[in-house]
Amino acid sequence: LPDLPYDYNALEPYIDAQTMELHYTKHYKGYYTKFMAAAEGTDLLTTPMEQIFAKISSQPEGIRNNGGGYYNHMLFWESMTPNQGQIAEDLKAAIDNDFGSMDSFKEEFGKAAKTRFGSGWAWLAMDSSGKLFVTSTPNQDNTLMDIAEKKGTPLLGLDVWEHAYYLHYQNRRAEYVDNFWNIVNWETVNKRFGSAKA
C-alpha cells in the first residue's frame, strides 16, 4: 500500500488527524485490498490504471468501484500538503483562459463539490483538446473512465464522500470544500498539468 506523503495531523486544522487516519487505514486500504484481490491472476495487475479505466464499462462493478477508489485516493493524497507552493504561471494562464479567473475556477469547482448528490468527487481535468474543465463524478468514478460524462486527465480531485469530512465538519460539506484551497498541493497540480499538456 503506497505511503501517505505526510503525517495524519499534517493537514490540520483543515482535515483532522482522526479523519485522515481512518480515511487512509480503513477506506483507502479497503479499496486497495479489494482491487488487488479482484485483479489477482488477471492481466489487470500489469495494466496501467489509465488503460483499465478507458475500458471500465467492460469490467465488473468491483473493478470499477475499488480500482477507482484506489486510484482516486492516491491522486487525492498527493493533491494535498501543508506546504502549498505556488501555482505555475502557465497553469494560472490556462485557468484564466478557460474559466475567466482563478476565482471563477474556484467557484465552479466548489459548486461541483458542494452539489454532487450523495458520494463522489469534484475534479479539475484537461480534455483531449487541452482545455481545462470542472466536473464531478459519482461514487469512485473518475474522468478517465469511458462511462464518465466528461472525460479527461484529472489534475486535481476532491473527495466529497462523508467519510472524508464528517467527523470534523458533520453536515457542513461546504466548509470542508472551501477549506480545501488552504491545502491544495500546487506543485503536484503543476506537474500533472505539464504532463497532460505534453
| Residues 6 or more apart whose Cβ sits within 8 Å of residue 116 | 122, 136, 138, 160
Angle between helix axes 102-115 and 89-99 (nearest 10 degrees) is 70
CB of 122 to Mn ion, least distance (A): 13
CB of 83 to Mn ion, least distance (A): 23
Question: Nearer to Mn ion by C-beta: 105 or 165?
Answer: 165
159 binds Mn ion per the rule CB under 5 A? yes
Question: Taking contact as CB under 5 A, which single stretch among the options 24-32, 39-47, 54-62, 113-121 is the one that binds Mn ion?
Answer: 24-32
Question: Nearer to Mn ion by C-beta: 91 or 112?
Answer: 112
Interatomic CA distance for residues 182 and 84, integer angstroms: 8
78 binds Mn ion per the rule CB under 5 A? no
CB of 76 to Mn ion, least distance (A): 7
Write out the three cell numbers for 96.
Answer: 484564466
Angle between helix axes 89-99 and 186-197 (nearest 10 degrees) is 80
Question: Nearer to Mn ion by C-beta: 52 or 75?
Answer: 75
Question: Taking contact as CB under 5 A, which single stretch among the options 29-37, 99-107, 111-119, 161-169 is the one that binds Mn ion?
Answer: 161-169
CB of 105 to Mn ion, least distance (A): 23
The neighbour count for residue 195, using CB atoms within 10 Å, is 11
Question: Nearer to Mn ion by C-beta: 23 or 151?
Answer: 23
* CB-neighbour burial class of residue 198 (10 A; exposed 0-12, middle 13-18, buried 19+): exposed
141 binds Mn ion per the rule CB under 5 A? no
Question: Taking contact as CB under 5 A, which single stretch among the options 21-29, 46-54, 116-124, 141-149 is the one that binds Mn ion?
Answer: 21-29
* CB-neighbour burial class of residue 52 (10 A; exposed 0-12, middle 13-18, buried 19+): buried
**Contacting positions for Mn ion (CB under 5 A):** 27, 159, 161, 164
